[in-house]
Amino acid sequence: MSDAPKIKTKDRDQILQSLRAGVVPRTGLQHVQVGRALEVEQVLRDILRIGEGGSSIRLVIGDYGAGKTFFMNLARLIGLEKRLVTVNADLAPDRRLHASGGQARSLYAELMRNLATRTRPDGGALGSIVERFIGDANKTAGAEDRPVETVIQERLAPLEELVSGYDFTVVLNHYCRASEAGDEAGKSAALRWLRAEYSTRTDARKALGVRDIIDDASFYDYLKLLARFVVIAGYDGLLVVLDEMVNLYRLTNAQARNANYEQLLRILNDVLQGSAANIGFLLGGTPEFLMDTRRGLYSYQALQSRLVENQFARNGLVDLSGPVLRLQNLTPEDLFVLLKNLRHIHAGGDPSRYAVPDEALTAFMDHCNRRIGEAYFRTPRNTVTAFVNLLSVLEQNPGVSWQDLLTQIEIGRDGAPMDEADDVPDQEGDDDLTRFKL
Higher pLDDT, 321 or 117: 117
Are the beta carbons of 97 and 107 closer than 8 angstroms? yes
Beta partners for 90? Answer: 243
Distance between CA atoms of 418 and 65, rounded to whole angstroms? 18
Query: DSSP string spanning 254-281?
Result: HHHHHHHHHHHHHHHHHHHTT---SEEE
Domain 36-329: CATH superfamily, name plus number: P-loop containing nucleotide triphosphate hydrolases (3.40.50.300)
pLDDT tens for each residue of 376-420: 666 788 788 888 998 999 989 988 888 888 876 654 444 444 443
Within 10 angstroms of residue 219's Cβ, the number of other Cβ atoms is 22
pLDDT tens for each residue of 262-281: 999 999 999 999 999 999 99
Distance between CA atoms of 201 and 207, rounded to whole angstroms? 10
Please state the rounded mean pLDDT for residues 299-326.
Answer: 84
3-state class of 57 per DSSP?
A: strand
- Would the CA dihedral through 423, 429, 434, 438 be positive or negative? negative
Distance between CA atoms of 129 and 119, rounded to whole angstroms? 11
Alpha-carbon dihedral angle through residues 43, 65, 434, 395, given to the nearest 10 degrees = -10
Give the distance, in angstroms, between the CA of residue 211 and the centroid of all CA atoms in the same chain. Answer: 33
Q: How many residues does the chain have?
A: 438
pLDDT tens for each residue of 118-152: 999 999 999 999 999 999 999 999 999 999 889 99
Alpha helix ranges (H) inside 94-214: 103-113, 126-144, 148-156, 165-181, 184-194, 201-208
pLDDT tens for each residue of 171-197: 999 999 999 999 999 999 999 999 999
Query: What residue spans in the chain does CATH classification 3.40.50.300 cover?
Result: 36-329
